[in-house]
Amino acid sequence: MVFQLDIDFVFPPVYLSEEDGLLAVGGDLSPERLLLAYQSGIFPWFNEGDVIMWWSPRMRMVVDPEYYVVPKSLRSTIKKTSFEITWNTCFEEVIRQCSETPRKGEQGTWISDEIIRSYSTLHKMGYAKSVEVWQNCELVGGLYGVDLGHVFCGESMFSKTSNASKVAFVWLVNHLKENGYAMLDCQMYNHHLALLGAQEIERENFMKILKDI
C-alpha cells in the first residue's frame, strides 16, 4: 500500500514500498522532512504540480567509491578535457541549471521552484552540496545532492557542453573516496549512470550501508 503522510515527520519502513518503489505521498518539502527522508533511505520524485511522492526502490543504483574504476572510454575522454572543477561554491546556480537545461527524451523538469528553495535551505544548513564544472570562466556542468557525512545522495546533474557532467561525476567519486565515504547513492537505474560505472544493489544491502554510521 502507499502511505499518506501528514504533518508529523515520520516515514513508514522502506520494506513496505510498492513493487515500483513508491512508499508514500503527501507531506511537505521542508528541510527537516527532506533530511529525514534521505537518512531513512527515501527520496522525493514527482512531476511539478503533482502530489509529492516518496520512493525507496527495491534495487538501488550506487557507487562504492573505494572500488570504483572509471570506465576505459571515459578515462580517455577526461584526459582530453580542459575543465576546472570547484566544490560547493555556487549551489543555487547548479540546481537552477539542473532545472533549466533541456534533457534528451524528456519534457519539463521535476525540479520546481519549491524544490530549489528547499534544497537551497538544506545547502545553507550544510547538507546539500554541489560540484561545479567550468570552462573559460563559464559554468558548463555540475551536479548536486545531499551529504550525510558517510553517504552522498546524488540528485541531479546537468551539462551545457559535451562530457561536463561526466567529469563532475568522476570528480565527486574521487572526492568521496579521498574522504572515506561508504557510498554514492544514485537512486534508480538509468542507462547513463550505468555507463558511468554505477551498479544496482538490493535495498537491504543499501540500508545496511546507510545505517552504518
CATH number, domain containing residue 173: 3.40.630.70
Residue ranges of alpha helices (H) inside 45-163 are: 72-79, 91-100, 113-124
Tens of pLDDT, residue by residue, the chain (213 residues): 899 999 889 999 999 999 999 999 999 999 999 999 999 999 999 988 889 999 999 999 999 999 999 888 788 878 888 899 999 999 999 999 999 986 654 544 679 999 999 999 999 999 999 999 999 999 999 999 999 999 999 999 999 998 999 999 999 999 999 999 999 999 999 998 998 999 999 999 999 999 985
Which phi and psi angles does 24 have, rounded to 5°? -155, 165
Count of domains observed in the chain: 2
Residues 149, 84, single domain; the answer is yes
Residues facing residue 147 across a β-bridge: 152
> pTM for the complete prediction?
0.93
Nearest CA to 196 out of 151, 166, 154, 159 is that of 166
E strand residue ranges, 35-193: 43-44, 53-55, 59-63, 84-87, 128-135, 138-147, 151-159, 183-187
Domain boundary (21, 37, 57) is at: 57
Residues 91, 134, single domain; the answer is yes
> What's the domain range around 144?
61-211
Q: Indicate the helix (H) or strand (E) that contains 23.
A: strand 22-26
